[in-house]
Amino acid sequence: KKSNMATTHGSGYQSPPPIGRTVDRVFEEAQFTGEIYLNSRKIRDYPKLCSKYDLSDTVFVDISRNRLAEVPHEVCEYLYVERVSCYHNVIRSIPDAIQQLQNLTHLNLSRNQLSVLPPAVCLLGCLEVLSASNNKLVS
């Protein structure tokens, strides 16, 4: 059973572990918890050092409040991921590889620069919640 490094409050909201950890440590812990917390780090690119770790059992990814211009391809390789938060970045594109995430139930793309949602998002069979408010979406 995976341990949960986050703190659950009475409201059900989970706050992530402390931000002061190195990115290396985030991935090291994620191998055991299945949760990647890279929020509020001002990153422009997904850290390449993730390839040093076995993150195949990842179920949660939080890359909110960064400077990412696209949903990272690496995230699309976490085939068991259920929840991904990309809230408040500068994301303009979503790779077609996102359709591989057939266990994804929650995807938060709010507060980005998206003008279109690709057809690949419609192929996410388990998706229950898609948040895409505050983008530049056109019909």
What pLDDT score does 29 carry?
96
pLDDT value for 35:
98
Q: What pLDDT is recorded for position 17?
A: 53
- Locate tokens 């996102």: which residue? 98
Domain boundaries, the chain: 7-131
Tokens of 75: 């995230």
3-state helix, strand, coil in the chain (%, to 5): 20, 15, 65
DSSP helix/strand/coil, 48: helix
Interior CA angle at 75 toward 5 and 123, to 5°? Answer: 120
In which residue ranges of the chain is pLDDT below 50?
Answer: 1-13
Let me know: does 109 contact 83? Beta carbons within 8 Å.
Answer: no
Is 119 exposed, middle or buried, given 0-12, 13-18 or 19+ CB atoms closer than 10 A? exposed
Quick one: pLDDT at residue 21?
74
pLDDT at 27: 97
Instruction: For the domain covering 7-131, report its CATH number.
Output: 3.80.10.10
